[in-house]
Structure 1
Amino acid sequence: MKKFILILIICFFNHFSAQQKIPVWERGQMPNSKGLKLKIEEEKEGRITQIQEAELLAFLPAKEERKKMAVIIIPGGGYHHLTYDLGGYSYAKWINTLGISAFVLNYRLPTSPDLKQKEIGPLQDIQAAIKYIRKNAQQWGISPDQIGVLGTSAGGHLAAMVSNISTDYTELKGDWETISTIPDFAILVSPVIDFGVFAHRGSRTNLLGENISEEKIKEFSMQNRVTAKTPPTILFHAQDDNAVPMMNSVLYYQAMIKNKVKGAIFIFPEGEHNIGISNKTALTDNWKKLCEDWLKNLSY
């Protein structure tokens, strides 16, 4: 009996440790590095404040239920830390219930002492992650042209950056150069968008530093980067969000309308900066159903 229980325990832990960790960069390919050896630094409540290299954690539905679509989850944390658990794994597990594969990206933070150019470090990692998943899509049974991003808070800013900046900063050569870095769709939850009047100051300072020029503020305010080539995007925000004002989402959606970008926006009266998998009100919790229906209606 004891042996049987032990086997069950081993199987239980094997099941939850079976998620595949994938290095984003192959050995010697990671750009923008001083070559420092860094330790992973983690705070309480599932927050990482420092990593050596970017990595993806794959969450895959059963093959029988798996659709061709995949979503890269980009955790927030003000560009200071990564909320990989609440802002990563929880979203990935929910995405799996839709039959969609999910990959949580732990990216290099701009506060890392290893980065030569801090403001493009996170962008390089998400661009390389999109390339990697597209190149290896067949092994997971997904389609390379149905790869989206889901970003929360500062992760939403990074999702908006990769949606609109067409310059390839990965420095990858050979057949990697032919693979697009632009996602096929984007889901932005309480996103940081504006670096001006409605900025989340912590995100702006951590990414760009102090005493930022007006030119830089404009460049990294993502509503200014939207074009007709911006992928279909859905935005969710709460009216009572005191950390990242809802105007961040409104400004982005206005730019989408101006450029005829396909998408939708939902502003809930409550939710603060905590729209996620478990919400305090039934109304705000509807974001998941709205998102699911929107994903179903995407045509490829």
Structure 2
Amino acid sequence: MYSRTMLKVRTLSNNLKMYGSTSSNFVNVSVNDKSGVAIVTMQREPVNSLNLELITQLKTALSDLERNKCRGMILTSASKSVFSAGLDIMEMYKPNQERVRNFWLSLQDLWMTLYGCSYPSVAAINGHSPAGGCLLSMSCEYRIMLPNFTIGLNETKLGIIAPSWFVATMKNTIGFRKAEMALTLGFLFTTEEALKVGLIDEVASSKEDAIAKADKFIGQFAKIPPQPRTISKLMLRSKDIETLRKTKEQDLQAFLQVVNDPKTQKGLELYLESLKQRKA
């Protein structure tokens, strides 16, 4: 059904040379030849932690789809249990300063690209989706989630403050009051709870069902002229995108200050130690 011989979007490793990365392919893109809808699959095992390479490859894939005028995009995961576990802690623990700077700037660019893309976007959430994984999901126009998973911005439970553009995205998705409670509590919603508050739009029985529902959603726009659709979308979203665009450096410096704080580094060290103990 979905062709594997596609747009230049599939060859992404060359775009990563500026960061000194390997040629690992953490993103796969397949496009339905008939509908023009693309499936973008995160495949950085085991939990799609958002490191610099994955973020950069996602940004490149989405930008290439924009240039190739795709008819719609479905974002999903190759994992059977995790959509994305969020930001890779190892990018922030004892960081190389040039790399951590590129990491945050690339994340900003990824969000602006996904949140403001002209084509219809759907998150097929086939696993847990905390923190940065929730941000990616909310940045899409429509969210379909499988049962028995969790989603939310749980930063406060980890002693971290979600950036203002994370907050704006959640507020725009579920409304001020629900976002306020969710963010301050660091709450992770179950699939059923997420549906109830409007964090997701549908529940699917399987990944295949989620993809089918996503196709159906995107299909609604087949008879809608693309330009009016895009302009209408950006009328709702452009203010927050422009706010970040104008304050990118300020946002970056705030992030670097927090990351380089000894208390933050100690907290990250304790968290990594707890992960080791769980594995043991």
Report the TM range for the smaller structure's normalisation.
0.3 to 0.5
TM normalised by structure 2 equals: 0.40
Of Structure 1 and Structure 2, the greater strand share is in 1
Structure having the higher Rg: 1
